Every structure is written in structure tokens, then in C-alpha cells.
Structure 1
Amino acid sequence: MTNALAGRKALVIGVANDKSIAWGIASALRAAGAELAITYLNPKAEPHVRPLAEKLDARIVAPLDVARPDDEDALFNKIATEWDRLDVVVHSIAYAPRDDLHGRVIDSTAEGFGLAMDVSVHSFARLCRRAEPLMRAGGSCLTVSYYGAEKVISTYNMMGPVKAALEATARELASELGPSGVRVNVLSPGAMATRAAGGIAEFDAMLEATIERSPMGRLASIEDVGATAAFLASDGARSITGETIHVDAGYHIMG
């Protein structure tokens, strides 16, 4: 994939540390030649993210809390001013209030469910909408899901229906943006030890079960996800859109 993305401009949202899926994706995009814009959630997160962004020579490093429209405005104004185009968007964020996430879906609050849907799902639609006018030559929009969107994972709880909504939303966006040459796809990694996953109840047991069930007897890595993302952002995937691509060492095929 060397230089497959040379000259491309890529926005990556969700880098938290060097164990995050977004970091694996950002690293792979950069290795393929893309120029990067990387966001951090807030001032508390900035000292952890900025050194990573600088390691990848990110041209733009900016705050983005998707619950704050002003942050979105400022970010895309900066991209339009400095680049005047955008080729790739990577959305690798999700959130649910802890009490709602750890409880039964049937007991979840309307407020908690709504917040999870806004941050985890509708934010992707908003980012694609803002990116569309900058993708004048077409582009690739990617988001990140999990097998719990398809089947019940006992400890995944609220995030199951939320990720299912994300995958359905991505298909709709693929249909709507296709005429503009913008492709929309979903990466569905297997369970892996990221900071975000630490909020899921009994996560260590989930990792062990994933290894046991996988045909390859191992977990996928953030590097594996990054390599797949770089392919989907490249011209080699120019006819792939609306898909959910599993990067899970075969976990999802097992009954």
C-alpha cells in the first residue's frame, strides 16, 4: 500500500492513545502517503494525542467534541482553509453513559440512549455532510462498528442497537453519496484491548472467548484494522461502498 494514498487528505477522529483503533488507522493512512488531520476530544486529552499526531506529521491537530457544533464548524473551516479539499474521513468514536451501558437495554434512559445515538451514530452523518462539499473528486468515509451490532453479545448491552443503527446509517449514506463518488464503509474489528473497550463489562472474558472462537485462534490487531482502512480509502476499493468489513480473524463466521 506504499504511496497508494499519496496526495490524499485524511481526517481521523478518535485517536486517544497508541492502543486505539483510530491510531492504527491513522498510522496506516500515513504509511500509505496520506496527509493527516487528527482531532482530540478536549484539553485534557490533548497532551496524549498531540505527540502522536506530531509523530505522523499531522498537518492539522484540532479539538473536536461532536456534541459541540462550534467544534465541528471550526474544524471544517480549518480544513477548508488549509487544504480546500478532503479525501478521507475516519469516524472511530462511540459513547454511552456508564449506567446505561452496564444495564439492560430495556432499563436504559431515554436521555442515555439518545446521547449514545447522537455521539456514536448521528455524528458520523454530520461529519459526512460537512465533508461532502470538500470531496469534489470523490472520497471515502469510514466508521467503526462491532459484531455486537449483528448478534447479541451479552455484555455489549446498549451498544448493540447503537452500532446496528450505525451500520444501517452507513448504508443509507453510501446510497446518498454514491452519485458524488463518495464511498461509505464500516470496519467491524473483533474485540481488542483498547481504552474504549475497557468500559464494557466482563471485557477480559470477551477477549478470551473471541480467541477461542476465532478460526485463526487469535485476536485481530489495530494494525490489521489500519491496513484494511488504507485499502478501503484507496482506488483499489473504488467500487466498494455500503459494506461492513469484518477484521476479526474470522470470529464472525463461527456459529
Structure 2
Amino acid sequence: MNGRLPLPDSIHLQGKRGLVLGVANEHSIAWGCLRRLHAMGAEVVATCLNDKARQHVQPLTDALHVQLLNCDVMHDGELSDVVAHCVQTWGRLDFVVHSIAWAPLADLHGPVARSSRQGFSQAMDVSAHSFARIAGLCAPFMHNGGSLLAMSYLGADEAVAHYGMMGPVKAALEALVRYMSLELGPLGIRVHAISPGPVPTRAASGIEDFDELMASAIRKAPLGRLVTLDEIGALCAFLCSDASTGMTGQTIFVDGGCHAVS
């Protein structure tokens, strides 16, 4: 696989098949990505955490006729079961969107220097290493190459007040992106991190003073506003399309320009 595909005349995802991990509700980044991928013609299987989350997600996926599976990456075997289902259904995968992050609140709200060993390990396992695991499971079935995408944040590159332990964890995730792009590039598999600005999701609500973080982003951003789920989804769809076949190993910001100004 040399990755030299004919470039499309327009960006579309007709014939693409893939997996979106981590839909929580209509405000989640994973939902914004899923919605845009589906609208551009992709066939998608989605996951949510558990039956409690399913109550919020099932009506959304049912409306799009998208199959929804439960997947808790902390439970051994659930990731591999999801991949096996996709392979049994389609025979291959063209993209994976990983939109999963978690840390114990006690560790997330405390100083990094006082984070517990267990809490830090759990955050790293769920938020970063699960991306490596899903890549290892899916790569053998990405017969035509494809895209692996994860969600990061500016706090991976610079210290952001109250982001705490998730900053080092997201930095590890971005390092995984670079190393996996090197390892999987010969297979035509591209790997990226998408780095949105602050978005009012359920997961983000666990960050202390998140309202102030959003207000600060609006003041700082050259565009003078927060980004939308549709804008994040549009970038995701582009990176899953054949229009992006010359790109890999990057952290790509969609944050109104916050990352570019001091």
C-alpha cells in the first residue's frame, strides 16, 4: 500500500466505513463528528459507554439508522468485540474516530504533583492508551489504508490553568499520534489528533472553572468565538476523506485561532 490514491474532485465519504467511539449525547464532540461523517455518505458504527449513556445516544443514532454498541475501554474485550462486529459486518474499516477521555475527579481537580498513581494510570489508559489499542486492533483490517483520529486539546502543548492531569495525558496522546503515523504509514494509514477549542460538553463540565476557560478562549481567539460541533465534524470528515491522503502525524487545531496567539 503506497497511499497514492487518485485525488477526488470533491470531498465525500461515499463507500467509506468506520467507527466512532465515545458518543455521549447531542453535545458531545463524537456526535458532531458522527453526524458530519454520515451526512457525507459514510457508513458508521458508533459506541457509547454503557446502558445509562445509551438512553441519551440511542435516539440520535436511530434517527440516522446508525448502529450503536456499548463499549467501556476499561473492560477487557469490549474494544475487540466492537472491532470484530465491524469486520464481520463490512469486512474492513476505513476510519476510526476516538473521542474518549476520563480521569478521576479527585485527581483532575488536584495538583498534578499530588495526583495518585492509580488515577494517573487510569486517565492514561482510558484517554491515551486505548487509542493505541484500537489502532492495533483495526490496522489489520484497514486494507485500503485509512484514517485514525483522536481528540486532543491545547493543554497538551502548554500549561492551562485547571486542566491539570489531563494536560500530560493529552501530551502522551499526541506523542502516540506521531509514533503511530511512523509505524502505520507504510500501510497507508494516516494518524492525526484534532485539537478543538473548549466546547461545552458533558466531559468538559468536569474541569474546574470551565466557564472561565470558555470566556477566555472567546477573548483570545482571532475569530472571537468558540467553535461548533459542526466545524469539528467538518475537519474530522476531511481527514477521513481521500482529499487528505498526503497528511499524517499532525495535531490539527480547530479552535478559532487560539493556539496561534499569546
Scaled to the shorter chain, the TM-score interval is over 0.9
Q: CA RMSD in A?
A: 1.1
1:125 aligns with 2:125: no
Q: Distance in 1 between matches of 2:49 and 2:160?
A: 28
Give the count of matched residue pairs: 254
Q: Which AA in structure 1 matches 2:29?
A: I
2:197 aligns with one of 190, 195, 199: 190
- CA gap 1:36/1:95 in 2 versus in 1, 3 angstroms: same
Give the secondary structure class of the aligned counterpart of 1:185.
strand
Structure 1 residue 13: deviation in Å? 0.6
Q: Which AA in structure 2 matches 1:31?
A: A
Q: Distance in 1 between matches of 2:175 and 2:149?
A: 13
Structure 2's unaligned 5+ residue stretches are 1-8
| Structure 1 runs (4+) greater than 2 angstroms displaced | none
Q: Distance in 1 between matches of 2:81 and 2:183?
A: 25
Structure 1 residue 73: deviation in Å? 2.4
Structure 1 residue 241: deviation in Å? 0.3
1:233 aligns with 2:240: yes
Q: Distance in 1 between matches of 2:236 and 2:203?
A: 19
2:72 aligns with one of 65, 73, 83: 65
Give the secondary structure class of the aligned counterpart of 1:69.
coil
Q: Distance in 2 between matches of 1:73 and 1:131?
A: 9
Q: Distance in 1 between matches of 2:156 and 2:12?
A: 31
Q: Distance in 1 between matches of 2:199 and 2:11?
A: 28
Aligned to 2:62: 54
Percent sequence identity over aligned pairs: 48
Q: Which AA in structure 2 matches 1:128?
A: A
1:86 aligns with one of 84, 93, 114: 93
On the 8 A contact 1:36/1:57 being kept in 2, the answer is no
Give the secondary structure class of the aligned counterpart of 1:240.
coil
Structure 1 residue 56: deviation in Å? 2.0
Give 1:1-255 correspondences, 5 Å limit.
4-58=12-66, 60-255=67-262
Q: Distance in 1 between matches of 2:143 and 2:75?
A: 26
Give the secondary structure class of the aligned counterpart of 1:95.
coil
Q: Which AA in structure 1 matches 2:222?
A: P
Q: Distance in 2 between matches of 1:98 and 1:164?
A: 19
Per-residue Cα deviation, 1:81-135 (whole angstroms, up to 9, x for no partner): 1111100100001000000000000000000000000000000000011110110
On the 8 A contact 1:148/1:160 being kept in 2, the answer is yes
Q: Distance in 1 between matches of 2:80 and 2:220?
A: 44
What is the TM-score with the length of structure 1 in the denominator? 0.97
Give the secondary structure class of the aligned counterpart of 1:209.
helix
Q: Distance in 1 between matches of 2:213 and 2:205?
A: 11
Structure 1's unaligned 5+ residue stretches are none
Q: Distance in 2 between matches of 1:74 and 1:114?
A: 23
Q: Distance in 1 between matches of 2:40 and 2:87?
A: 23
Structure 1 residue 75: deviation in Å? 1.1
Q: Distance in 1 between matches of 2:99 and 2:206?
A: 16
Structure 1 residue 2: deviation in Å? 7.5
What is the TM-score with the length of structure 2 in the denominator? 0.95
Structure 1 residue 3: deviation in Å? 6.8
Q: Which AA in structure 1 matches 2:137?
A: R
Q: Distance in 1 between matches of 2:189 and 2:257?
A: 28
Give the secondary structure class of the aligned counterpart of 1:89.
strand
